[in-house]
Structure 1
Amino acid sequence: MSASSTTRRIAATALAAGAIVSATALPAVAAHDDDRHRQQPKVEISRVQADSPGRDNRSNRSLNAEWVEITNNSRRAVNLDGWTLRDNDGNRYRFRDVRLAGRSTIRIHTGEGRDSRTDLYQDRRNYVWDNDRDKATLRDDHGRTIDTKSWGNHHHDHHRDHRRG
């Protein structure tokens, strides 16, 4: 056997071994990427405006400037019928006959208004979300927590309670 044919055989063996290693490594990488994709929430609380701009005078305009946004990151529409949005004090808003289109966001206002594809209204006459600290919890129609968003200091402050309402 010549030196060149031995070199070719060694090179072919090394290439074949490399191909086998690459082939076995690919599914692991694909599975890892798949897991990361699965961990991204389909529906999430994307933004909260708990402190209505301006004076807290309980006007409908001020109440509606307090809101929570829910975003559907998937391509498919999600039926939110029976889902709830709740604060730390137990104030609850229940979604009725709401479909959230794929890749879209809906804003849930505290005050009164006319529901649309992009805005829903809780029809309340008092503020829901605490300015300094609170937690919004989104649950599905089976009561499973889908997402939460907290803000502020969650240690109980005995000296000052900034709760409005």
Structure 2
Amino acid sequence: MPASAHDGDRRHRQDARVEISAVQTGDRDRGHRSNRALNAEWVEITNNGRRPVDLDGWTLRDRDGNRYRFDDYRLAGRSTVRVHTGMGRDTRTDLYQDRRHSVWDERSDKATLLDHRGHTVDTEAWGRNHRR
């Protein structure tokens, strides 16, 4: 059964508009290499502000160093984009990493969102050994 991360270890700033709002990990024991299973694994990024945010050059990474770089993407105000692990066609609300293997460990991992300067915007950790 897939696990979901919760906001127990989120790094917040008072003026933060963009955050990791949800994480859905994959089930590595069953069908983790099918594109359907990989796309059931995702991270949601939410812009809580009213103005759009240019995510061009921002990165999303896991504890093992796997990275997804946002390319020419603007996140509208008060909206969410879901970044799937598998392959697909990017839309306004869904982006795809085009990977053939699972990224997010269901037992323990950490998602980190970095801006174009490499500054940490938000983190989400779950499972055992989770650290900020």
- State the TM-score, normalizing by the size of structure 2: 0.85
Alpha-carbon spacing, 1:57–1:127, altered in 2? closer, same or farther (3 Å): closer
Higher strand share: 2
Larger radius of gyration: 1
The structure 1 segments of at least 4 consecutive aligned residues displaced by more than 3 Å after TM superposition are none
Count residues with an aligned counterpart.
Answer: 118
1:108 corresponds to 2:98: no
SS of aligned partner of 1:39: coil
Q: 2:26 maps to which residue?
A: 51
Structure 1 unpaired stretches of 5+: 1-37, 156-165
Higher helix share: 1
CA distance in 2, matches of 1:153, 1:115: 33
CA distance in 2, matches of 1:46, 1:113: 21
Farther off after superposition, 87-96 or 57-66: 57-66
Q: Match of 1:117, as an amino acid?
A: R
Among residues 95, 103, 114, which one is paired with 1:120 in the alignment?
Answer: 95
Farther off after superposition, 97-106 or 49-58: 49-58
* 8 Å contact from structure 1 (residues 53, 62) kept in 2: no
SS of aligned partner of 2:51: coil
1:91 corresponds to 2:66: yes
Structure 2 unpaired stretches of 5+: 1-12
- State the TM-score, normalizing by the size of structure 1: 0.68
